[in-house]
Structure formats: C-alpha cells, structure tokens
Amino acid sequence: MLVVRPIAMSDYEALHTCAVESGHGFTSLPVNEELLKNRIQHSEYSFAKANVTEPYDEGYLMVGYDSETGEIAGTTGIEAAVGWDVPFYSYHISTIVHHSRKLNVKNTVKLLTFGNNYTGYSEVCSLFLRPQFRGGLNGRLLSKCRFLMLAEHPQRFSQTIFAEMRGVCDEQGNSPFWQWLQQHFFSIDFTMADYLTGIGNKGFIADLMPKLPIYINLLSKEAQAVIGQVHDNTRPALSLLKKEGFVCRNYVDIFDAGPAVECDLEHIASVRDSLRLKVKVVEHTSAQWFLIANTSFTQFRATAAKAAVNHENHSVMLAPDVAAALQVQDDDFVRVLAQ
C-alpha cells in the first residue's frame, strides 16, 4: 500500500534519489544537499504552523512510501503562495495586430511578455514518481492527494491554483527555447540556468532577461515549435490536470517555455467531488477503489484503497489496515474520492 505523508529530515537520502532520477528541467528538486535539506526544514515548519488563515510563504512537501517496505516511491507538494520571498517569473503570450488601412496590410503577431503574474497564487508542484512504482493508482494518489488537502484546508491556499509543466528538452538537458535566449541574452547553458533557479539564485534572470516583449516570429523555428509544449515524461501529469479542470491561460516558463495551467480551487474536480465521511472500521467486501485522506493537517495521510460508502448516513467503511495507515479510528472523519 502506498501512503502519502509529510516529509521528514530522515527522508533526505530518498529525496536526493528522487532529485537525481527526476532529471533535467525538474527545477523544484535541485541536486543540492543544502537546498534539499532547507526544503525539508521549511516543509516541517510549514506543516507545524498553526492557525493559518491565509496563504503566505508556506511550502508543503510530501512523500509517498510503501507501507510494507518503507521505501520512498516519490514526492508531491504544494507551495501556498509563490513569489513573496523569491520572485516568480513567467512569460505571457499575447496577440497584437499591425494594420495599415492605406496599404491594406494586416499582420497578426504573438508576443512574449516577461512578468510576475502568478505572485501570491498556490502552486501544485514537485510531483515525481520513481519508475519502479509507476502503475495502478500510485500516480493518481500522488497528484490528487493534494486536491483532497485543498478541499479540507482551503484557508491555507489561494483562490486560484496553478502548476508549471516541464517543457521540451533532450536527454542532455538542452532546451530549444533556452538555446535561442542563450544566444541573444545569456552566456550560460540551460542546465546551469535551471540549476541556479532551483537553488533560488534568480538574480541573473532580472539582470539579463529582456524586459521588452519578444516577437515570437523572430525566434528560431526550433524555439517557436516548443512554446507551450511539454516534456514526454510530463504528458500523463498534464492529462490528469486537464481532467481536473486545469487550463492554460497562455503563460509559459521563461527557460523551457513549458505551459502553466490553472484552475479556481472550488472548480477542481477532485475538490468538488470529494466527500467528507465518518469512519467505520470494519472488514468489508467492497470492490470500489477510492483515494482517501484523513482530515488532520500536521499528521496528513492519504492512500488508495477499497472502501464501502454509505451515502444515507454519510459514512465509509475502512478495513483495519487502511484505517491504521490513515491514523483514523471509528467516528473520525476522512475525505474520499471515487476512482
């Protein structure tokens, strides 16, 4: 059984392994001991922070672990509000029309405009499932457990939730979009820029990034082709988010041009469709699968398991091992989502 819980400092080695395996372009997990340990410490601080009534600088990082072996299977997280402590940059794609009535010429062109439009928004991030654990409901659990948390504790998050999707790059970490930027504005390669961003060293962006809008038709054909496109490994995550109601509002990453997608919290399908039910711990024969999370924040737990829902009395029957994994007992509440 895969169980999701808040990360702890004892998970550092496993988090480092996830950072290495996630590969190029996964900015939120830099292969850097100091930064990874700082991220764990900040998550521990955030989960312990009481009486939060609005989002600020909290960052919640979680791990999924095998309940039988204890092995860490992957990571998932939520940043409560980006851009307050460290600037959060993106490009917005807009359209303008150049029209000369006298010459009867009309040209429609697209621009990339540099900005901080997502400042203060909550970001679902750091979703990575190690290859040997992919399959079944594991990927859905790591992704959707965040939405069960949002549904249960909405005061800790913003009204709009967004996610950045990894853009196109090759196995060596070369990004066609960044190669154009590097040629004209920078002197460092994509992997270095990606790494510097991951460790929070973003000063070079403000110093060197062009401040005026960029005409997309002036970029190389290779760079134009990948704007708004995702890395092959990211397609399943994007597909899942689209089913949740996330859409692209024409914002892309400033390094690899991967798309950002967003959705209002109350319109996320898993938030809207999840149910808060009272627990009955009993052996049962239900064949229906659910994603289930307890209602605790500091001791958050989530898993995928078979359960039996009684809609008439607003209760759910959980097997003893599932209840133990979720740290709940009779008459406690859980949030469930049918699969």
Q: Which residues are the active-site residues?
A: 231
Least Cα distance to 195 among 13, 15, 7, 30 occurs for 30
Look up residue 222 and give its two tokens. 């290779």
> Do 260 and 171 meet the contact criterion of CB atoms below 8 Å apart?
no
Look up residue 282 and give its two tokens. 């009993």
Instruction: Quote the CA–CA distance of 253 and 234 in Å, as a whole number.
Output: 14
What angle, rounded to 10 degrees, do the helices at 33-48 and 12-22 form? 120
Q: Are strands 315-318 and 289-294 parallel, antiparallel or unpaired?
A: unpaired
> Do 199 and 160 meet the contact criterion of CB atoms below 8 Å apart?
no
> Do 160 and 168 meet the contact criterion of CB atoms below 8 Å apart?
no
> Do 235 and 260 meet the contact criterion of CB atoms below 8 Å apart?
no
Least Cα distance to 119 among 95, 89, 143 occurs for 89
Look up residue 67 and give its two tokens. 């309940």
CB neighbour list of residue 318: distance below 8 Å, 6 or more residues apart: 279, 280, 281, 282, 292, 305, 307, 326, 328, 334
Tell me the β-bridge partners of 201: none
Look up residue 241 and give its two tokens. 């988010």
| CA dihedral sign, ordered 238, 244, 247, 253 | negative
Instruction: Quote the CA–CA distance of 338 and 291 in Å, as a whole number.
Output: 7
Instruction: Quote the CA–CA distance of 65 and 84 in Å, as a whole number.
Output: 31
Look up residue 183 and give its two tokens. 């040629």
